Amino acid sequence: MCGIVGYTGSKQAAPILLDGLERLEYRGYDSAGLAVRNGDALAEVVKATGKLYHLADKTDQGRSLPGTCGIGHTRWATHGDPSLVNAHPHVSGNCSGSGSGQVESDVVGVHNGIIENFTELKEKLLRHGYAFYSDTDTEVVVKLVDYYYKKYKIGPVDAITRTMVRVRGSYALALMFKDYPGEIFAARKDSPLIIGTAEDASFLASDVPAILKYTRQVYYIDNLQVARIAPSSVKFYDLNGDEVTLPLTEITWDAAAAERGGFEHFMLKEIHEQPQAARDTLNSLIRDGKIDLTSAGLTDDTLRSFEQIDIVACGSAWHVGMASQYVIEDLTQLPVRVELASEFRYRHLPIRKDTLVIVISQSGETADSLAALRVAKERGAMTLAVVNVVGSTIAREADHVLYTLAGPEIAVATTKAYSAQLVAMDALAVQMAYVLGTISNEQYGHFIEELGAIPDKIRRVLEDKERLQWFSSKIANAHDIFFIGRGLDYAISLEGSLKMKEISYIHSEAYAAGELKHGTISLIEHNTLVIGVLTQSELFEKTISNMVECKSRGAYLMGVTTNGNFTVEDSVNFTVYIPKTDEHFVSSLAVVPLQLLGYYTSVNRGLDVDKPRNLAKSVTVE
């Protein structure tokens, strides 16, 4: 989704803004723009469609835009097509064309999010003589701020809070006012925004990597708060316009973690970081041979108090939920429901008070997951967030937070955060089972030992990557790929299929292997690739039979199975083996070849692996 940066200090702003936007590219965008002020002069606005280098070229890498205070934006189109006129920044003035250049305006701004009542607000502003040059909801907000600014004449914070009261939806806004040179004003509701502070300079951004090169000191601005930033001061206000104090947080992760570090793509780097992500996450939860969830506020008594688990998430995080369902149910005998957050939030599901609602999210900002969390809290359930981004909205609003320690994930397609979520959920399942008494002391010890061995086993799976690279070159022209499995293997298939389709653009579907005969098998043709996941010994023969049924209708078969299951080669054309592990935890290993297959297929097709078309890293709109 859109990315926002802002800088005010003593250096030239434009190169810093461009650098920040480049680090937010992973969020997905289709156009970009800057507004920079040179002292008291009006802001100069420059926009470009397409990749960021067009904007960099247009501004001579920022050098042709003098000024030490500015805002920048990468736009992921929601209202209006991805054109120059709709690109941000937007201005409050009456202008023809795209709103570029020095437009006589009191307010200029950028926005991430969606203003739901923008039509109604636009009509109001039209009645008050405003004219609109774009189709965006952002231009409406900028003009609404301008309207209140002029009507009440109390200053930017007042104009912004009045606007916040009128708009419905989500926003992270950064605004500059003509009468306040050297200052940037920001506001936030349900869209990510951080404020950074350094000696003689202040920053704002949608995410930490954008400003990490300049500072590690950040404020996490809360929902419905306003920030006022100047080179050497940062102030925060609530909706009443009263000043509030926020804690300063030090970012501890390494800046190099957000760089490619010699890998061709972030995705490949992050695939290789999975042993570390799983190890760090497990180390934070396992101490002296015991699982300790007290850092998430989950004491044994709390864990004992639930009769039902609901897991809510989107995309890959939902797939983690699907895998965890099998593990938690099997180990604890508690009923587990797994719901898509976008459905859950509108479904009026009965939620009992003794339910633990677990929201899984890498970014902690996914709009549907956040809304689902709020629904669960309203209905009286206790909530646990399994989140990667520290200080994110979901982490702050949930009753309990279990952090995954995957570090910053840049590639749009998640890999290491997914793996960290899996092991975190596995540890939770084992601890719940232990305190509920559904597993013995011996089993508890065995599970902890097996979990501890996962990171090294992931590393061993990665050693087989050349074979997958080779195989992917054979399937690069496939039209359809089917991923099948039963039980946990079905959950793994879901993730394998998503990884394939989202970055290679090859149509793929995941099916519970037993469901094929109920319709889908009619799609199997000569050479259709069917990938079977075969890690559950109890279900192995069943899934093999389903694969063979496909083969006899022309399918080409690939299997992912556990080392030692060599009979699979009697039926399957290409086999990948993963190390033996306790079958509850196999997802962490079996997913890796499927991630690699998706990755290499995308590379073979010459696609933009890290930033696939139409996708955004953090989906902060509905």
Point out which span in 129-137, 311-319, 375-383, 442-450 binds ligand F6R (CB under 6 A).
Answer: 311-319
- Positions 86 through 105 that interact with ligand F6R (CB under 6 A): none
Grouping H, G, I as helix, E, B as strand and the rest as coil, residue 530 is strand
Task: Give the shortest CB-377-to-ligand F6R separation in angstroms.
Answer: 17
Q: Coil, strand, or helix at residue 422? A: helix
178, 170, 180, 160: which is closest to 227 by C-alpha?
160
Task: Pick between residue 45 and residue 271 the one whose CB is nearest to ligand F6R.
Answer: 271
What is the distance in angstroms between the CA of the first residue and the CA of the last residue of the chain?
A: 11
- Name, in order, each residue with C-beta under 8 angstroms of 387's C-beta and a sequence gap of 6 or more: 359, 360, 361, 362, 363, 364, 394, 395, 398, 401, 402, 403, 404
Residue 315 in contact with ligand F6R, rule: CB under 6 A:
yes
546 contacts 572 by C-beta, under 8 angstroms? no
Of 74 and 363, nearer to ligand F6R (C-beta) is 363
Of 52-60, 220-228, 238-246, 315-323, the window that binds ligand F6R (rule: CB under 6 A) is 315-323
| Sign, Cα dihedral of 540, 471, 273, 455 | positive
H/E element, 124 = helix 118-127
**What is the DSSP code (8-state) at residue 190?**
B
Both structure tokens of 533:
């996941």
Q: Would you give the DSSP letter of residue 398?
A: S
Nearest distance from C-beta of residue 113 to ligand F6R, angstroms: 16
For residue 54 the two structure tokens come to 């067009």
Element holding 249 (H helix, E strand): strand 248-250
Residues 110-139 interacting with ligand F6R (rule: CB under 6 A): none
Q: Considering the rule CB under 6 A, would residue 393 count as an interface residue with ligand F6R?
A: no
Q: 617 an active-site residue?
A: yes
DSSP designation for 606:
T
Which stretch in 4-12, 264-272, 312-320, 463-471 sits in contact with ligand F6R by CB under 6 A? 312-320
Select from 74, 281, 414, 497 the one that contacts ligand F6R (CB under 6 A). Answer: 414
Contact range with ligand F6R by CB under 6 A, out of 142-150, 203-211, 314-322, 342-350: 314-322
Tokens of 607: 């696609």
Closest CB to ligand F6R among 190 and 502? 502
Question: Is 2 known to be catalytic?
Answer: yes
Q: How far is the CB of 168 from ligand F6R (least distance, A)?
A: 22
Q: Which residues, numbered 457-516, are part of the site for ligand F6R (CB under 6 A)?
A: 498, 502
The minimum distance between CB 154 and ligand F6R, in angstroms, equals: 38
Q: How far is the CB of 369 from ligand F6R (least distance, A)?
A: 5
Minimum CB separation from ligand F6R for residue 203, in Å? 23
Contact 286, 427 (CB under 8 A): yes
Shortest Cβ 61–ligand F6R spacing (Å): 31
Nearer to ligand F6R, 403 or 577 (CB): 403
Q: Whole-angstrom Cα distance, residue 523 to residue 270? A: 34
User: In the complex with ligand F6R, which residue's Cβ is closer, 275 or 364?
Assistant: 364
Query: Is the CB of 141 or the CB of 425 nearer to ligand F6R?
Result: 425
- Which of 214-222, 245-253, 308-316, 534-542 is the region at the interface with ligand F6R (rule: CB under 6 A)? 308-316
Nearest distance, CB of residue 365 and ligand F6R, angstroms: 7
Residue 28 is encoded by which pair of tokens?
Answer: 């997905």
CA 119/CA 134 separation, integer angstroms? 13
Comparing CA positions, the residue from 191, 297, 205 lying closest to residue 258 is 205
Which residue among 375, 413, 475, 594 contacts ligand F6R (CB under 6 A)?
Answer: 413
Judged by beta carbon, residue 178 or residue 400, the one nearer ligand F6R is: 400
Q: Are the CB atoms for 573 and 554 separated by under 8 Å? A: no
How many helices (H) and strands (E) would you count in the chain?
18, 27
Please name the residues in contact with 68: beta carbons below 8 A apart, sequence gap of 6 or more.
7, 8, 9, 10, 11, 12, 13, 37, 38, 182, 231
- Closer to ligand F6R by CB, 136 or 316: give it: 316
- Which lies closer to ligand F6R via its Cβ, residue 363 or residue 565? 363
DSSP 300: H
> How crowded is the C-beta side of 439, counted as CA atoms within 13 Å?
22
Q: Which is nearer to ligand F6R, 413 or 468 (CB)?
A: 413
Q: Which of 47, 143, 269, 617 is catalytic?
A: 617
Pairing of strands 248-250, 382-387: unpaired
Give least dist CB 261 to ligand F6R, A: 20
CB closer to ligand F6R out of 361 and 431: 361
Query: Closest separation between CB of residue 421 and ligand F6R, Å?
Result: 8
Least distance between ligand F6R and beta carbon 615 (Å):
8
Q: Could you tell me which stretch among 36-44, 45-53, 176-184, 309-317 binds ligand F6R (CB under 6 A)?
A: 309-317
Chain center to CA of 489: 24
Count of positions on this chain that bind ligand F6R (CB under 6 A): 15
Distance CA 107, CA 140 (A): 12
**Site map (CB under 6 A) of ligand F6R, residues 345-384, x = contact:** ----------------xxx--x--x---------------
Q: Is residue 619 part of the contact set for ligand F6R (CB under 6 A)?
A: yes
Please, what is the minimum distance in Å from the beta carbon of residue 417 to ligand F6R? Answer: 7
Count of CB atoms situated within 10 Å of the CB of 442? 8
Catalytic residue among 2, 69, 314, 550: 2
Residue whose Cβ sits closest to ligand F6R:
315
Nearer to ligand F6R, 355 or 369 (CB): 369
> Whose CA is closest to 338, among 319, 365, 362, 355?
319
Please state whether 410 falls in left (phi above 0), alpha (psi between -120 and 50) or beta. Answer: alpha
Cis peptide before 89 (omega within 30 of 0): yes
Sequence-distant (6+) residues with CB within 8 A of 116 are 168, 169
Cβ atoms of 88 and 39 closer than 8 Å? no
List the structure tokens of 486.
């039963």
Residue from 125, 257, 268, 314 in contact with ligand F6R (CB under 6 A):
314
**Residue ranges that bind ligand F6R, judged by CB under 6 A:** 314-317, 361-363, 366, 369, 413-414, 498, 502, 618-619
Question: Active-site residue numbers?
Answer: 2, 617
